[in-house]
Structure 1
């Protein structure tokens, strides 16, 4: 492409009502600014834009209808992956991010469920394509731009069209497709950019896999502000302070599970992350101690706890950590999830299925709520019709705090029954962290028993049970314990609870005396 490729971009291409419009706005303002860093490679806004146009041209030329509906991007964190996400939107299609490191059988199910009709791959994705031959029959696969002319200018999808499709795991393990509309994600981005006022000097970490919705925050808050996105390799966690300083990171965004890992490695000393302006955490509960330790490491940073399921578009509530007041407002050591974004309403659904003023399952409606799952069968039990409005049932239990913010109690599906007694796993974990020598804990229910994984100084199970009995009902006390160096993390660096549950199930024949 030539210099004219950006000159051809005019309104409404840069509309804030379509996802790639946020990128185009910055590309027009400063085309030579660095949009992306991967290792030692730097990619300008112009370069990503031109590669996206080339890929979009190839996609439209090779598609029988001249416009694909849903474009899969089977790629690792490469230039091709990021340009492919833009190219799908440029071609007027929804993007379906896919991870070449996932089992081919799972990826194939996602491709089939999303009805992907074109696929962009990088070298890693290309290596997986033979294993997906059956599901990709008749689907054009684009690795490098060929003889097709680049797209002249990006398309402008309707706000009611699907921007991206991501997959979450249901209780059966079958991936559930979540289509998010352009109007959903753009409503979110308008809130984010208005709240934080990011600018071209900001440099954003990207810790999340591209198949995870929080990665959309990374990409389009960075690009929507004219800033630079930096891919965070796993090895960076070994010396995060040096890495953050070397890359000039000003906005950190990750799951909370990163914090205890860094603390145990001695990488979270006071003032070690002084260059950060914002530190944002999402994806799982943020613990009070973790927020306090991160704030001490990043004293000039605003630390915030973001909350929201994929179905409500990235995050839908936020609490800003205040070292003076936030610790006293935590429930079971968990930082509040805060207040809902403007444009979203909520209600709390009690155990009787009726709205409750103080606690219950969080139900949300508003501009960020997705329209429904790809498979309508997955909608069953996930929506509530109340007062002529449709509400999404998050499955999360919350408590209304005195100031109106929401405290997090745990997942509805983490509420288990042990010998007929209802048990909140988050409450068990908070109690374990009160025990001498234990710095962190995860509880799982296996075979009608509680199994605790602990980090800290190993102690006999009998000692722990005796200490817990001083302030905990008997039914809430785990009978089995295992000490680990670290909790396993999944691809998005969140605590891998299914892996721990499987490990506990595999240890079911072991006795307490073995710990």
Structure 2
């Protein structure tokens, strides 16, 4: 792997992980940890720590040093780790978590006898625990067993044919399950994983070329971010790529088309899936001739489910079951309303509204919990955003509810609100046309470079 100026081969990474795993085991009574926290960013220590937890026979629980201390403390209380591995940035925030970590051994560096070899894990043992807020804002722990991860990675390797010559981008923080794809597809194929620092995005073409990255994986927001630069997104800019994968939020058709031109040697795919279904559960391969006509509200289809998974539509909501579904949350109280028992089978309720195409492909319509009622009319913000992007001069748009109305945040050429509203009325019912229009230079992004809708909703509420 490559992290900044550091180059780490498999022998060294394996040794680092064995050293840390031995230290963890020695710090825990009985030498058998069940869960190991990882309070770290994308550093060599963090990646070795991911492996070390598994080597010690434990589940890894990634924690982000830059998350609010109260949120991280709640995750620690829920996961109850037997030990916590920290890197430099993790160590810097330990004082704010002193109460939550009382009595928990903190591993700052390897200081004990190394394990001779990784401890084996059974298929039903937990590989990692990640936290997702959902609509409540309270962290919910998702324990993912080795069986699920094995089923997922088996499908991925079969589909993409990764090999030792592949160089993989690593754009997601370790608290986001898509980072598991980054790391374990690279390591599972004998390839190289390259951590992409925030500073690289200003000249991403140069970074990708210098590292000869062949597999790109990120949130779709990156595409519009690059396109907004003065020099834009030029044809052939990412000539080394052979796979371009996007996940984490809806992929827009015009962004997929722009990336396809910028990475002409690569195959572009839209991946979809919540944490509870293990990283991603469906995929659509972008075809510049066929795909645009299959998009709804300018959103690329989420495609077909992986083998081993089945779905049903419950009042339009996608429900999935199969070998990638977790059995429940860390706290069983959180299971309420998130699982559906139907025909003797347990299904995970994704909260996403979809439509089945005649050939079996699924198209994404929006979030069940994003639907809002404006002047008595129920509306899906994705539909409003589709209309906004068709208005002259608008490059991208996000619509959020505030004070009983919709506020539209826009990127593009500034126009008077009256002109925008007049044009929108040709596409939308008058009742759901946004009443406020706010132009931005760029949308705020969260830690995983996805559009931060919560931040925009907070701005709309504060400005109301």
Structure 1 position 268, deviation (Å)? 1.5
Is residue 234 of structure 1 aligned with residue 190 of structure 2?
Answer: no
Aligned residue number for residue 255 of structure 2: 290
* Aligned mates of 1:496, 1:182 — CA distance in 2: 31
Instruction: From 49, 56, 71, give the equivalent of 1:106.
Output: 71
Aligned residue number for residue 497 of structure 1: 453
* Aligned mates of 1:281, 1:54 — CA distance in 2: 35
* Aligned mates of 1:200, 1:276 — CA distance in 2: 15
Aligned residue number for residue 456 of structure 1: 412
Instruction: From 276, 281, 288, give the equivalent of 1:323.
Output: 288
Aligned residue number for residue 263 of structure 1: 227
- 1:74-473 equivalent positions in 2, closer than 5 A: 74-146=39-111, 148-265=112-229, 266-350=231-315, 360-473=316-429
Is residue 51 of structure 1 aligned with residue 7 of structure 2?
Answer: no
Is residue 72 of structure 1 aligned with residue 37 of structure 2?
Answer: yes
* Aligned mates of 2:307, 2:134 — CA distance in 1: 29
Structure 1 position 211, deviation (Å)? 0.5
Measured against aligned partners, the alpha-carbon deviations of 1:6-39 in whole angstroms (never above 9, x if no partner) come to xxxxxxxxxxxxxxxxxxxxxxxxxxxxxx1001
Structure 1 position 65, deviation (Å)? 2.6
Runs of 4+ in structure 1 displaced over 6 angstroms? none
SS at match of 1:495: coil
Structure 1 position 466, deviation (Å)? 0.6
Q: Indicate conservation of the 8 Å contact 2:216/2:245, yes or no.
A: yes
Q: Indicate conservation of the 8 Å contact 1:239/1:267, yes or no.
A: no
* Aligned mates of 2:177, 2:257 — CA distance in 1: 26
Structure 1 position 269, deviation (Å)? 0.4
Q: Indicate conservation of the 8 Å contact 1:291/1:303, yes or no.
A: yes
Structure 1 position 62, deviation (Å)? 1.1
TM score, norm. by length of structure 1 = 0.89
Q: Indicate conservation of the 8 Å contact 2:135/2:369, yes or no.
A: no
Q: Indicate conservation of the 8 Å contact 1:241/1:267, yes or no.
A: no
Q: Indicate conservation of the 8 Å contact 2:170/2:217, yes or no.
A: yes
Structure 1 position 116, deviation (Å)? 1.1
Tell me the C-alpha RMSD between the 2 structures. 0.8
* Aligned mates of 2:165, 2:278 — CA distance in 1: 26
Structure 1 position 267, deviation (Å)? 4.4
* Aligned mates of 2:30, 2:300 — CA distance in 1: 50
* Aligned mates of 2:126, 2:396 — CA distance in 1: 40
* Aligned mates of 1:38, 1:389 — CA distance in 2: 44
* Aligned mates of 1:102, 1:111 — CA distance in 2: 12
Structure 1 residues not aligned, in runs of 5+: 1-35, 351-359, 509-515
Measured against aligned partners, the alpha-carbon deviations of 1:271-313 in whole angstroms (never above 9, x if no partner) come to 1111100000000000000000000000110000000000000
SS at match of 1:422: strand
Structure 1 position 339, deviation (Å)? 0.2
Q: Indicate conservation of the 8 Å contact 1:240/1:267, yes or no.
A: no
* Aligned mates of 1:420, 1:116 — CA distance in 2: 48
SS at match of 1:323: coil
Structure 1 position 111, deviation (Å)? 0.8
Structure 2 residues not aligned, in runs of 5+: none
Structure 1 position 171, deviation (Å)? 2.2
